[in-house]
Amino acid sequence: FDVIGVLLAFLMVFKTQTAYNQFWQATDQVDGLLQTSRSLAMTAVTGFAKIDEADQEARRVVRLLTLHYFIIIEVFQRTGENATADAHIKDQLRNDIRYLCGENE
């Protein structure tokens, strides 16, 4: 039983470490997406500064980037092995997405 116990302990540690690494890789990817969205938003705001209707266009770009981020999070929560089963969380995120969408989007 000692050998089996040691092997089982090793397998449990390996499985836990793998899951932990996958979690942090996914977190890093989402953080990278957020950083890219922020960079694009800052570029849009400064790029539209020389146009007459700059404020409206810059707000639209920032709104669409925010909408893109929320849609990706919603897809992550809706699909896969760890999909959220709580209807309240899904409805809240979908309401946030509806709020950001325009009439033609």
Q: Answer yes or no: is pLDDT of 1 > 70.
A: no
Q: What pLDDT score was predicted for residue 37?
A: 85
**pLDDT for the residue 51:** 67
pTM to 2 decimal places: 0.59
Return d(Cα 59, Cα 74) in angstroms, integer. 22
Long-range contacts of 13-18 (CB under 8 A, 24+ apart): none
pLDDT over 90 percentage in the chain: 1
Residue closest to 100 by CA, chosen among 60, 46, 72, 56: 60
pLDDT digits over 32-70, tens only? 988 888 888 888 777 776 666 677 777 788 888 888 888
Amino acid symbol at 6: V
Q: Angle CA(94)–CA(75)–CA(81) in degrees, nearest 5?
A: 125
Residue 105 confidence (pLDDT): 63
Residues 67-95: what's their mean pLDDT?
Answer: 81
Mean pLDDT of all residues in 85-99: 82
